[in-house]
Amino acid sequence: MSARERLSRFGKFLSGMVMPNIGAFIAWGFLTALFIETGWLPNAQLATIASPMLTYLIPVLIAAQGGYLVGGDRGRIAGAIAVVGCIAGAPGTTMLIGAMLMGPFAGWVIKTFDRLVEGKTPAGFEMLVDNFSVGIMGMLLAMLGFVVIGPVMDAILAVLMAGVATLMHYGLMPLLAIFIEPAKVLFLNNAINHGIFTPIGIAQAQETGRSIMYMLEADPGPGLGVLLAYCLFCKDKKTRQSAPGAVIIHFLGGIHEIYFPYVLMNPKVIIAPIVGNMCAIAWFSLTGSGLISAASPGSIIAFLSMTPPECMLPTIVGVLIATGVSFAIASPIVRTAGSKDLDRAADKMREMKGTAEAAAVSDTRNGKIVFACDAGMGSSAMGAARFRNRVKAERPDLAIEHSSVDGVPADADIVVCQRVLSERARKSAPKARIVTIDNFLDDPALDSLYASLTELPRASELMEPAHPKPAGEQAAQGKPSIAIDRDSIRLGCPSVDRERCIRDSGALLVSRGCVQEPYVDAMVERDRLTSVYIGMGIAIPHGTNEAKGLVVRTGVVLQQYPEGVDFDGERAQLVFGIAGKGEEHLEVLANICRILEDEAILEKMKTTDDVDWVLSVLS
């Protein structure tokens, strides 16, 4: 794993502790903005709520979340107990950094203890051991926090504060933009924002009522300037037409990731947000501007909501400066640049982000990984089968399954799904890590997931010797119960459009007596929801979850398109139409997965005219 991926993984982990608790930051920020002496509605009594929230509530929430990410529910309790020792050991210091350290550490301690005593607790004493162990360890960690961690974190924060003070004193704060803007495009912003800027910002806001640190990464002006340049001067019509929508999402929605592809397609454009942010930071430093709390997400609405009354005008001017400078620099670059493909840049961005997501996975022994698609029948089954074959030698302890995205098992540790299904997956499995992909066979995020699961220091401990299966079982597994016959195969099909290809596949299933006629429309609808193209030149059309009642019997058909069928820029040459009752079709999919392991066979299958050879390979 590269240094960038490691740093991105670290940043994502920090974000995983902070982001679920952003509501607490917002509540504290509004209480401060409204009711302190210099606030919008000064109220001395209500203002007293803000200090305990900052001193106790927010660190405890963050530590509890960090403990949960590493050690589950017991880690959550241990983390919350432990961080109280840090808070007491450094009175007057907001223990945000301590919470980010102590929470995961407490989760790791309790998780390690659980591994050591697994299977050794006498029957009937489980609850007693569970409660006393987390209580005693939490107490010991709280003592450690009081004596060591709290004072050390206090000293670290003091050093960071001194560094910021030095930068401000010598007018060097704008130079931070040289690191901030490229880090954002490379998805490293979480590491610097949540790991450094927010803790320093809270400490500064306690002393002065506001902090410029909250403004460094969240300012929407630099990205807005880039997008406006594309709106007006981009030569590529498709890119120019997409930019206005990106402006709204970025500026009002606060989703800065929307402008990253526009930078990646013309890397020289990065100069524009760097200089724009430098000018804005210089202006904010000169005018003494700052926000009361973190602006998350980084929209203009959140940015101004966290701005104290006396800083409102300078803040607006600063955002306009960043926008104007960024626009002025980006415009000639965009105007003179050749027409480049925004989709490719977006793919590059998704690849980078997907890799970062896949790297941040748990090393839980006997964990469960679930591949999920809309119906849980075709693409997810193929993806799960192929990944299972890939990882089983190094991690035989892992259970790799497939399901519909709305039926993910509650005990799933990691869910792999297509990007457009990620929100449904999160609702279905709120405790699982979500790895988003664009296809189930050769996505870069799957490579990162494989690497993160097999490169763990403990991975070698989880390897088990292979035990040969009984001969009868091997023979049973070698012959699928549902096979493709000669009449289910069409070779040398002329290239057609995507929908025609899927309807032809459905018509073949109808002619074979596998499905009723309306199932064909459900196959087309399934592709509209999420593409049935799964990678490596293969598509697997099948119906939606709601159409399973239209399946008469399990069947698999194959159409070969030597010239390929276009699926959003990818060419599908092998199209397997599927109708499945229960799990009967999975053995045929397993055979297809075995074919994928041999590149020569796969390539021959895409062009051969020998039906007998195809039958021999699939059966």
**C-alpha count within 13 angstroms, C-beta hemisphere, residue 48:** 2
Query: What letter does residue 551 receive in the DSSP assignment?
Result: B
Asked if 560 contacts 609 with a C-beta cutoff of 8 angstroms, the reply is no
Q: Look up residue 365 and give its two tokens.
A: 């022994």
Total of domains in the chain? 3
Q: Is the dihedral of CA 101, 103, 105, 106 positive or negative?
A: positive
Judgement on whether residues 454 and 542 belong to the same structural domain of the protein: no
Report yes or no on 387 lying in a domain: yes
Residue 73 placed within a domain: no
CA 36 to each of CA 30, 39, 44, 218, 454: distance values in angstroms, whole numbers, following the listed order? 10, 5, 7, 24, 52
Is 144 within the bounds of a domain? Answer: no
Would you call 565 helix, strand, or coil by DSSP?
Answer: strand
**pLDDT reported for residue 455:** 64
The single-letter code of the amino acid at 485 is: D
Distances (CA, A) of 414 to 436, 534, 564: 10, 20, 33
Q: Compute the 3-state secondary structure of the chain and give helix, strand, coil in percent, each to the nearest 5.
A: 65, 10, 25
Contact 536, 561 (CB under 8 A): no
- Do 395 and 324 sit in the same domain of this protein? no
Residue among 441, 436, 443, 375 at smallest CA distance from 403: 375
CA contacts within 13 A on the Cβ side of 336 = 7
Max Cα separation, the chain? Answer: 86
Q: Per-10-residue mean pLDDT for the chain, 619 residues long?
A: 55 68 76 74 86 88 88 89 92 80 92 84 80 93 92 80 77 87 70 70 80 90 94 83 84 79 83 95 93 81 88 95 96 77 54 47 68 72 81 82 81 82 80 79 76 60 42 40 75 92 93 90 84 83 80 88 86 87 63 71 89 83
DSSP secondary-structure letter at 2?
A: -
Q: Which residues neighbour 180 within 8 Å (Cβ) at sequence distance 6 or greater?
A: 189, 192, 216, 217, 277
**410: DSSP letter:** T
Integer Cα distance of 188 and 488 in angstroms: 50
DSSP 375: S
Whether 536 and 517 map to the same domain: the answer is: yes
- For 59, 164, 187, the CA distances from 176, given in Å and listed in that order, are 27, 10, 16
DSSP class of 470: P
CA angle 461–467–469, rounded 5-degree value:
150
pLDDT of residue 314: 95
In angstroms, the Cα distances linking 394 to 391, 455, 462 are: 6, 9, 7
Task: Identify the CA nearest to 270 among candidates 194, 180, 391, 368.
Answer: 180
Looking up residue 369, the CATH number of its domain turns out to be 3.40.50.2300
CB atoms within 10 A of CB 43: 14
**In degrees rounded to 5, what are phi and psi of residue 415?**
-120, 125
Same domain, 307 and 284: yes
Residue 491 to residue 558: CA distance in whole angstroms = 8
Of 537, 539, 542, nearest to 562 by C-alpha is 537
Pair 446, 541 in one domain = no
**What pTM was estimated for this model as a whole?**
0.50
72 Cβ contact list (under 8 Å, min separation 6): 107, 111
Question: For this structure, is 542 an active site residue?
Answer: yes
Same domain, 352 and 383: no
Count CB-CB contacts under 10 A for residue 53: 17
Is residue 161 domain-resident? no
Q: In the listed set 360, 375, 397, which residue is the last one of a domain according to the structure?
A: 360
CATH number, position 530 = 3.40.930.10
Quickly list DSSP for 140-162. Answer: HHHHHIIIIIHHHHHHHHHHHHH
- Read off the amino acid at residue 203: A
Q: Is residue 502 part of a domain?
A: yes
Same-domain check for residues 213 and 355: yes
Q: Which of 86, 373, 514, 593 is catalytic?
A: 373
The reply to whether 514 belongs to the active site is: no
213 and 243 assigned to the same domain: yes
The Cα–Cα gap between 194 and 74 comes to: 24
Computed from CA positions of residues 102, 103, 104, 106, in that sequence, does the dihedral angle turn out positive or negative? positive
Question: Is residue 188 domain-shared with residue 260, that is, in the same domain?
Answer: yes
CA distance 206 to 356: 34
As given in the structure block, the two tokens for residue 128 are 């007693």
Name the one residue in this structure whose structure tokens are 């690849």.
351
d(CA 506, CA 575): 11
Among 194, 250, 402, 542, the active-site one is 542
What does R_g of the chain's alpha carbons equal in angstroms?
28
Structural domain span for residue 226: 171-192+203-360
Task: Mark whether 248 and 395 lie in a shared domain.
Answer: no
In terms of phi and psi (left: phi > 0; alpha: psi -120 to 50; beta: otherwise), the region of 429 is: beta
On whether residue 530 sits in a domain, the answer given is: yes
Position 78 in a domain: no
Q: Domain boundary residue among 463, 489, 517?
A: 463
**Are 369 and 354 part of one and the same domain?**
no
| 182/313 same-domain check | yes
Does residue 409 form part of some domain? yes
Cα end-to-end distance, the chain, whole Å: 39
* DSSP code, position 548: G
Q: Which of 360, 390, 422 is the last residue of a domain?
A: 360
- Spatial distance between the Cα atoms of 440 and 596, rounded to a whole number of angstroms: 12
